[in-house]
Amino acid sequence: MKDQKDVKGLIIALKDDDATVRYRAAQALDELRDLRAVWPLTNALRDEAVTVRARAAEALGRLGDGRAVEPLVHALDDAGANVRYAAAGALGALGVRAGVEPLIRVLRDDADNVVRTQAARALGALGDSRAVEPLIDALADAHDDVSEAASDALAALLGQRAGQAVKLYRAERDRRQAELRGEVTWARTHKQERAFCSRWKRNVTLLRGFYSFLDVCEGSVRAKRPCENYHCLYNDVMVSGFWLRNEMGITDVTSKTEADGIMQAQGAVDYTRP
């Protein structure tokens, strides 16, 4: 039927008793890209076979019809992870902003790291600024594939500056993990941190937000010891990522006084002060 471009016949085959036939019908309709298949494929999102539901979601993403957005949003709650994965990818492919908030929810809450990865990619493709904060939070995801997808999405949304900031964040995070594992000594770490501050010429206070973000990410609080180039500021999740946001241009803070005021207003505590 695909070779004969029999769209009507393939639509009928979507209701066949055999799940394999229904799957092949969805696959064929995907390849034919005929808009008459939109509603039949949205109905297939409720098929009893998870493979058929996932294949229908993939097809709807490539058909490019906005009528599929709402059914695909519902599919983000499917019991099958591969269906949620396909629905997230389809919403990114459709390019409709109505998918942004549902994808943000998936990025934050879905239990499957592969699904969260796809949600991050889809948000990068949609290019909506509402995704920036959730994507920054996703940099701290326990799974590298999610955090890497989030960093790629941020670079797509915010440009080269964001890419450089994320690259620096990831390098420093890796160094801190090595320190926590005991693979680098304090003396070496101290030297590296001094070089870090000098190379990037960052205001001391602006760096504090960066280090607090790392501590929140790793779930550990390092000994509160100041050094001549910076001192650590430990704060709550509200201000974690402050440095990264500033580096990306989301905020624009250039002075110590201004940064102190913002962080203190959000509940930051500077343990190096009396």
Please indicate, yes or no, whether residues 36 and 136 belong to a single structural domain of this protein.
yes
* 45/55 Cα distance (integer angstroms): 9
Mean of the pLDDT values across residues 6-18?
89
**Closest CA relative to residue 263, chosen from 178, 204, 189, 188:** 204
164 within a domain of the structure (yes/no): no
**Residue 28 and residue 115 share a domain:** yes
pLDDT at res. 159? 80
Bigger pLDDT: 158 or 238?
158
- Residue 252 belongs to what domain range? 170-265
- We report the CATH number of the domain holding residue 141 as 1.25.10.10
| pLDDT tens per residue, range 208-262 | 445 544 444 444 334 434 333 233 333 333 334 566 676 677 777 666 567 666 6
pLDDT of residue 118: 97
Does the residue 147 lie in any domain?
yes
Q: Which alpha helices (DSSP H) does the chain contain, by range?
A: 7-13, 19-32, 38-44, 50-63, 69-75, 81-94, 100-109, 113-126, 132-138, 144-158, 160-180, 186-200, 204-218, 242-248, 256-265
pLDDT digits (tens, 9 = 90+) for 71-95: 999 999 999 999 999 999 999 999 9
Residue-level pLDDT at 238: 35
CA distances from 33 to 6, 9, 40, 59 (A): 12, 15, 13, 8
Let me know if residue 271 belongs to a domain: no
Instruction: Report d(CA 260, CA 205) in Å as an integer.
Output: 7
Cα 14 to Cα 106: distance, rounded to the nearest angstrom: 28
Show Cβ contacts of residue 117 under 8 Å, excluding neighbours closer than 6 positions: 143, 145, 146, 149
Contact between residue 214 and residue 252 where contact means Cβ atoms under 8 Å apart: no
In a domain, 100, yes or no: yes
Place of tokens 């393939």: 10
- Do 17 and 148 belong together in one domain? yes
| Total domains present in the chain | 2
Residue 253 in any domain: the answer is yes
Mean pLDDT of the chain: 76
Same structural domain, 142 and 220: no
- 207 touches 241 (CB < 8 A): no
pLDDT in tens, 16-36: 999 999 999 999 998 888 899
Residue among 273, 199, 267, 272 nearest 235 (CA): 267
Residues 44 and 26: beta-carbon distance below 8 Å: yes
Cβ pair 239, 265 in contact under 8 A = no
Contact 55, 26 (CB under 8 A): yes
Domain closes at, from 137, 158, 179: 158
Same domain, 151 and 185: no
Contacts of 32 (CB under 8 A, 6+ apart): 2, 5, 7, 10
163 inside domain: no
Greatest mean pLDDT among 58-67, 139-148, 175-184 lies in 58-67
Does one domain contain both 145 and 77?
yes
On the CB side of 67, how many CA atoms lie within 13 Å of its CA? 11
| Residue 151 shares a structural domain with residue 204 | no
